[in-house]
Amino acid sequence: MKIFLVGFMGCGKSYVGKRLSAKLGFQFIDADNVIENTEGMTIAQIFTQFGEAHFRQIEADTLRRFAKWDDVVISTGGGAACFHDNMDWMNAHGLTVYLKASPQLLMSRLKSEADHRPILGGRTDADLLQFIADKLNERSVFYEQARLIVEQESDGEQVVADVIQALFQLANAL
């Protein structure tokens, strides 16, 4: 089984992915880390040097490299579900899980990281919250195509437990 974690930046895909994979005995892969290692530069550098369209193509190609993998949890980039029919592809090749979080929760997590995420840097709190809400609204049509949607009301291990519970409920429904 392949599990793709999707959702906005800061929703906890890497955090949940590492813990979920450990509990399931699966391998964990952070797709953004794979891209950075393969390309020899950070995501921000790729965006700056080559533009978003080039990055999104690399991202789509990277996802498709996992087609034959099994017993793996893959954390995707925040925009991965929204380009190149990636969401359709992930739904066809594995189980997609949307880690849904409110704009306020995302802002609380991302505020301290704004300097490390070029798209967020230099924004006031109000502007950051509006940016997150707007982007989330724009992307939710893709995220909500996930097979499982786990709404986050808290941080940490509870989200991992909620994902595992949703996986068991899905397995029992089949």
> What one-character-per-residue DSSP string does the chain give?
-EEEEE-STTS-HHHHHHHHHHHHT-EEEEHHHHHHHHHTS-HHHHHHHH-HHHHHHHHHHHHHTTTT--SEEEEPPTTGGGSTTHHHHHHHHSEEEEEE--HHHHHHHHGGGGGGSTTTTT--HHHHHHHHHHHHHHHHHHHTTSSEEEE-SS-THHHHHHHHHHHHHHHHH-
- Structural domain including 110 reads 2-173
Q: What's the whole-number mean pLDDT along residues 65-83?
A: 96
pLDDT of residue 174: 65
pLDDT of residue 157 exceeding 90, the answer is no
pLDDT of residue 167: 87
Lowest mean pLDDT among 17-21, 24-28, 68-72, 122-126: 122-126
pLDDT of residue 156 exceeding 90, the answer is no
Whole-structure pTM value: 0.93
Share above pLDDT 90 across residues of the chain, in percent, rounded to a whole number? 74
Q: Quickly count: other Cβ atoms within 10 Å of residue 92's Cβ.
A: 10
Spatial CB neighbours of 64, under 8 Å, sequence gap ≥ 6: 89
We report the CATH number of the domain holding residue 159 as 3.40.50.300
Q: For residue 143, which of 11, 1, 47 has the smallest C-alpha distance?
A: 11
pLDDT of residue 162 exceeding 70, the answer is yes
Q: Can you tell me the distance from the alpha carbon of 39 to that of 140, in angstroms, rounded to the nearest whole number? A: 29
pLDDT of residue 21: 96
pLDDT of residue 118: 65
Mean pLDDT in the chain? Answer: 92
- Token pair, residue 104, equals 């306020």
pLDDT interval class at 122 (50, 70, 90): confident
State the total domains in the chain: 1
